[in-house]
Amino acid sequence: MKLLVTGAAGGIGTRLRQMLPSIYKDIRWSDIRKPDDLVAGAEFVAADLADMAQVEKMVAGIDGIVHLGGFSIEGPWETILQANIIGCYNLFEAAYRANVKRVIFATSNHAVGMYPRDQKIGVNVTVRPDSRYGISKCFGEAVGAMYADKHGLRVTCLRIGNFADTPIDQRRLSIFLHPEDLVQLIRIGLEHPEIKYEIFYGASDNAAAWWDNSNAHKFGYRPKHKAENFRAEAMAAQAKLPPDPVGDYFQGGSFSSAEYDADKRRS
C-alpha cells in the first residue's frame, strides 16, 4: 500500500511519523509546509488543501490516505471554511479521481460536543457540533459518506477524543486516546476487508467514557491503554482549574462554553 498522511507537521502527524513507518514502508507525508524534523529521505509533498491542483498532485499514485490535515482548533469562519471544508471536499474529490481505495478521516469529538456528559452516545446519534471547527468535522463525515455510498471509496471516520500519552484532567479521563490505540484504529480502517463507511470513536479503554464504541470493537478494535490508570493525577490537576459550568456540563468542554449565550437568550 502506498500511503499518504496529511497534516504531517501537526501534533498527531508528528507522532505518526515516528510510529507508522515500522508498519507501512511506502508513505508520502504532506502539509502546507515541510516539518523541520522530517526524517532524511522521507517523501514529502507540500500542499495547500484549499488548492485543488496541489491536492491532486499530493494524492497521485496513492492507495490509502490518513487525512489529518486542516485547521485543528476553533477559529474564524473563513479559516475553517478554506482549510476544513473546501480542503476536505478537495481531498475526497481528488482521492476519487485518483482511484484511491481508502480514506481515514480524522473527525473529532467536537462534532458531538453539545451532548451532555451524562448521556452516553453511539455513532448513530444526530451530530451536535460545539463550534465552527465541529461543524467542519460534521461536514467531513457527510462528504466521506457520499463518496463511500456513491463511488465505493472505503471511508473510516475517527471521532478523535484527546490524543496524548496520559489524560491530564477530568474530561480527558473520558476521551483519552493513546497513540498506540490510534494506530490500531488506523490499521483497521486501512486493512479490514469489511470496511465500507464507518464511524469509530477515537478513544482508549476509558472507564468513564461517554461514548459507546462497540462499532469499532465489532471490527476488532481492542484498545490497550486505560485512562483510569491516571485518575489520581488527572483529578489533582482538575482541582487547580477554574470552574466552567457550561463546559463542565457538555462533552465538548471549553469548545462548548466558548461564545455560549443560550441561557441568556432564553431568559
Active site residues: 133
CA angle 36, 94, 35 (to 5 degrees): 5
C-alpha to C-alpha distance for 230 and 228, rounded to whole angstroms:
5
3-class secondary-structure state, position 108: strand
Q: Which residues pair with 198 in a beta bridge?
A: 156
**161 grid coordinates:** 477524543
End-to-end CA distance of the chain: 57
The H or E element spanning position 18 is helix 11-19
Integer CA distances (angstroms), 193 to 159, 216, 220, in order: 21, 14, 12
